Amino acid sequence: MATKERISLDVNNESYDVEVDPEMPLLYAIRNELGITGPKFGCGLAQCGACTVIMDGRAIRSCMTPVKSAQGRPVRTIDGLGTPDNPHPVQRAFIEEQVPQCGLCISGWVMTSVALLERNPNVNDAEIRQSLSSLKCRCGTHMSILRAVKNAAKAMA
């Protein structure tokens, strides 16, 4: 039986203390302990990107990241980006391009795009494609996603 530890998390600018196995995936702590459901469980192997969150300004796969590694580091989920009345520029661009179909992967695409554009809003097509190359969308909305990221980049520049 795994030993539980008290872990302090900063998720979406809110502080939380959870008592969990420190090796538990961050995704499980976010969803099951904190009740934040934006990041999704997809493959569980860090291959699809549905679980993507931003930690220290970088898009990471929370399904393979131990919760202990997030202690004392700010974590952002799609739930902490914008609101329905005031969406983040990337969310707005995804809505305008009507990107979502089934919706399972959208969190990963949005969060990866946000991390990219916050580091450099003046990205070119090759940089966008490279940054998003590890994500999967089974609905095939890739061209809409690329247009949305380019539009968001213009809005954030």
In CATH, which superfamily holds the domain spanning 5-80?
Beta-grasp domain (3.10.20.30)
Could you list the pLDDT tens digit for every one of the 157 residues in the chain? 679 999 999 999 999 999 999 999 999 999 999 999 999 999 999 999 999 999 999 999 999 999 999 999 999 999 999 999 999 999 999 999 999 888 888 999 999 999 999 999 999 999 999 999 999 888 888 999 999 999 999 999 8
- Where are the CATH 3.10.20.30 domain residues in the chain? 5-80
Nearest to 44 by CA among 63, 59, 31: 63
Q: What is the CATH number of domain 89-156?
A: 1.10.150.120
The model's pTM: 0.94
- Where are the CATH 1.10.150.120 domain residues in the chain? 89-156
Query: Which ranges in the chain belong to alpha helices (H)?
Result: 26-28, 89-96, 106-119, 125-132, 142-156
Residue 102 in tokens = 């089934």
